[in-house]
Structure 1
């Protein structure tokens, strides 16, 4: 980054902080905030420590998506998601397994909870609950504000985990086409956006593993902003995609100064690796942005902890040539790098290498067929489905 660009970004950041401070002073002078919500993001952990992130925001009352929601309603819901009013410098109390701690929100309303565990967690549970409560009065007539956070802990018998990108890997985003990306993001909702064919069944099969009855944790890492968290969680639930922590990104001037897409995703993968050491991983992404470069770096930094890499081909020939070069370098380090056209390509490889149970291909093939028969987002927007 050039020095001139750094100077302009620092000026913009200071101006942004100044505006936030003025807004907070005005809010305090006029009687406080309106309804407040405690937003929790799925966390992760191990037998010794758990981690959870959340945010305190003005409640914009974004409703779950409906089958017949109009484009206008989808657009208004997206506006509410991005027009956030964060609540800085307030206390949040967290309780877990008889332990308690109090943390404060930062300038963007985010808070983080870390518990060094004093009790042994049982081996048979995948998810644990953390009880949260806002301790400060920030709105007139405010009632008690509580929320329950969820933390995923890998089983001792898990033989691998999965780290997956979201955009153009699980759901079509069109990240390399700005107009298409804008249409898919702003005019659709969790029910009208579609996964790539067969993805849900493939991820369910990976989660069950080679015996078909285990638990192999899945983590989703994306450069999408935290503002889309509720939409992405609902999307996964609607389409039967397995639950897992979603590691998204804060957006803002300060965040652009400290690193972009590559830096964010690599940091989140390192975060997962640290909390789940020594569990090895299957990495899944696409060729549209920097997943191949990021995953090559992970292979270098964590020798022996990457079993295979699946990259969906969504790019032009010029980009494909570079991906092929990365693939060869990764294979030279003893890690399978598979450049796939679709989900079934990846599933065939996974079955051959013992990552899936017998019969998984049939389930994935059926799921892919149904996904391909579903109306596209444009057909749903224009009311042409079933015609």
Structure 2
């Protein structure tokens, strides 16, 4: 029996295994403004569990959604109750009471249903925040090898936040973005990774020391979200936040086309587009007026010249390579 057959058999066994735990709430880390924040998440009928990365990943994807759950969502003293939909999803916009505003900085939101609750960080962006970074995840920040099906399955199912590798240099690049260390940009991750992987994606960002404060906007995975799932989320972010944006993605799938579309729809709002070379780069027209890079240092140096990153930070994160000694000399 070859490896793919064994993996398929294990997938079926784990996906059909009975649940052993009670319900779970997934609450997405979010970005907000002093005047309001939109929170979203999903309610699962059972908590995914497993002793290996494969079992945890599969049971996360196979967990049943809880339709009709009453979800109490609270943030900074503002509370609302919403009902989860057909796929277990819920979304609510909370606003501060009259005469108040949400204080800029990092705070915690809470969502609860009968028997369980979850918290998630919320980054309230002050109006002077210089810009918003909207980033892809797979093959932009994390090595997923989406264009190679066998390797994609390995990275998606057999790895987790502890074992999936980061794209070299990207934590340093992101950490240097901003006009000063005291004025960082906001970060929003808009990804095709399924919403059930929220804990995994958040853990990955923490483990690899990406900047804190990411809002996570993952895909509601299903047949209706196979394409065009990023544009509505990015449009919503640009409509809610007044700052200019920097878009970062990769060439493996459709990021260049999606970002070009957004740039056309929102003239003057996109400061720069950075595309990591992950293959499929033969057609140069895909990357018109974009920065196509193989090494994160290339993107970082361009960002310095564009006024989007701090020179001293980039120099420290990407020191020049030491010259090699001449052959025959010590």
1:120 aligns with 2:85: no
Partner Cα distance (2:201, 2:307) in 1:
30
Hey, what does 2:233 align to over in structure 1? 268
| Structure 1 segments unaligned to the other structure (5+ residues) | 1-26, 64-71, 137-143, 332-336, 370-387
Hey, what does 1:5 align to over in structure 2? none
Deviation, structure 1 residue 247: 1.1
Deviation, structure 1 residue 219: 0.6
Partner Cα distance (1:284, 1:121) in 2:
31
Partner Cα distance (2:21, 2:68) in 1:
16
Partner Cα distance (2:95, 2:245) in 1:
24
Hey, what does 1:111 align to over in structure 2? 90
Q: Is the 8 A contact 2:136 2:249 kept in 1?
A: yes
Alignment size in residue pairs: 302
Partner Cα distance (1:151, 1:216) in 2:
14
Q: Is the 8 A contact 1:95 1:132 kept in 2?
A: yes
Change (3 A) 1:62 1:201: farther
Q: Is the 8 A contact 2:109 2:119 kept in 1?
A: yes
Deviation, structure 1 residue 33: 9.4
Q: Is the 8 A contact 1:167 1:175 kept in 2?
A: yes
Change (3 A) 1:192 1:100: closer
Partner Cα distance (1:327, 1:147) in 2:
41
Hey, what does 1:140 align to over in structure 2? none
Q: Is the 8 A contact 1:44 1:275 kept in 2?
A: no
Hey, what does 1:213 align to over in structure 2? 182
Deviation, structure 1 residue 289: 0.5
**Match 1:95 to one of 74, 87, 100:** 74
Deviation, structure 1 residue 45: 2.0
| Alignment RMSD | 2.3
Q: How does 1:163-178 map to 2 (within 5 A)?
A: 163-178=134-149
Higher normalized helix content (fraction of residues): 1
Hey, what does 1:363 align to over in structure 2? 316
Change (3 A) 1:304 1:241: same
1:226 aligns with 2:206: no
Q: Is the 8 A contact 1:50 1:114 kept in 2?
A: yes
1:312 aligns with 2:282: no
1:326 aligns with 2:258: no
Q: Is the 8 A contact 2:21 2:46 kept in 1?
A: yes
Partner Cα distance (1:187, 1:196) in 2:
18
Hey, what does 2:155 align to over in structure 1? 184
Partner Cα distance (1:79, 1:229) in 2:
14
Q: How does 1:65-76 map to 2 (within 5 A)?
A: 73-76=52-55
Partner Cα distance (1:52, 1:190) in 2:
23
Hey, what does 2:8 align to over in structure 1? none
Deviation, structure 1 residue 100: 2.3
Change (3 A) 1:352 1:98: same
Hey, what does 2:215 align to over in structure 1? 245
Partner Cα distance (2:199, 2:275) in 1:
26
Partner Cα distance (1:60, 1:116) in 2:
30
Change (3 A) 1:295 1:98: same
TM-score (norm: length of structure 1): 0.73
The one-character-per-residue Cα deviations of 1:82-105 (angstroms, maximum 9, x if unpaired) are: 120221101111223333221001
